[in-house]
Amino acid sequence: MLHVVLVEPEIPPNTGNIGRLCLAAGARLHLVGPLGFSLDDRALKRAGLDYWADVDVRHWASLEALQAEAGEAARYFFLTTKTDRPYWSQAFRAGDHLVFGPETRGLPESLLADRADDCLTIPQQAGRSLNLATAVGIVLYEAVRQLAVEG
C-alpha cells in the first residue's frame, strides 16, 4: 500500500478529489492538521462523491505523530518546487509516504532543509504551479506504475 499525506490541506474539493484518487489506487490518505476546513464540509463530500465513505483516511494532529506511529523504517518523500530532483528518478516501494503541503504555501522550508535528500519535484514551467489533486495524481500513479512493473 502507498500512503498520500496532506499536510494542512486548505481547499475541500482538492482533498475530496485526492480521496477519490487514493481509493482508486488502493492508497491510504493521511490528513495532517490543522485542516483548513471541516471534514463535514459539503464541498469535500461533493468532490469525493459517494466514494468518500470508502476512502481509507487517517487523521493526525502533526506530521511527527504520523511518523512516530509509522516507525523508523517508513520512507517519506516530500513534494516541492524547491528541488531539482524529478519524482520519476525515485524508485518507489510499497509502504512509501508521498507528502504534500498546503495549496497556498507548500511544505515548510525547515522540513525541506532537514530532509533535502528525500525531496522530489514535478518539473513544470517557471512561475506556474499545478493543482494539488493533479500533483498527487501524477506522483501517486508513477509509484503505482513502478510497483506494477516490479510485481
Total count of residues recorded for the chain: 151
Q: What is the pLDDT of residue 150?
A: 74
* DSSP code string of 68-84: HHH-TT--EEEE-SS--
Sign of the CA dihedral with 70 first, then 134, 54, and 37 last: positive
pLDDT of residue 151: 65
Domain range summary for the chain, segments of one domain joined by +: 3-150
Describe the crossing of helices 132-150 and 12-25 by its angle, rounded to 10 degrees.
10
Q: How far is CA 129 from the centre of its chain?
A: 16
In this prediction, residue 127 carries a pLDDT of: 76
pLDDT per residue as tens digits for the range 101-150: 999 999 999 999 999 999 999 999 887 789 999 999 999 999 999 999 87
Q: Could you give the CA distance from residue 56 to residue 41 in angstroms, rounded to a whole number?
A: 18
pTM of the predicted model as reported, rounded to 2 decimal places: 0.94
H/E stretch holding 134 reads helix 132-150
Task: For 91-101, write each residue's pLDDT tens digit.
Answer: 999 999 999 99
Instruction: Give SS3 for 77.
Output: strand
* CATH superfamily membership of 3-150: SPOUT methyltransferase, trefoil knot domain (3.40.1280.10)
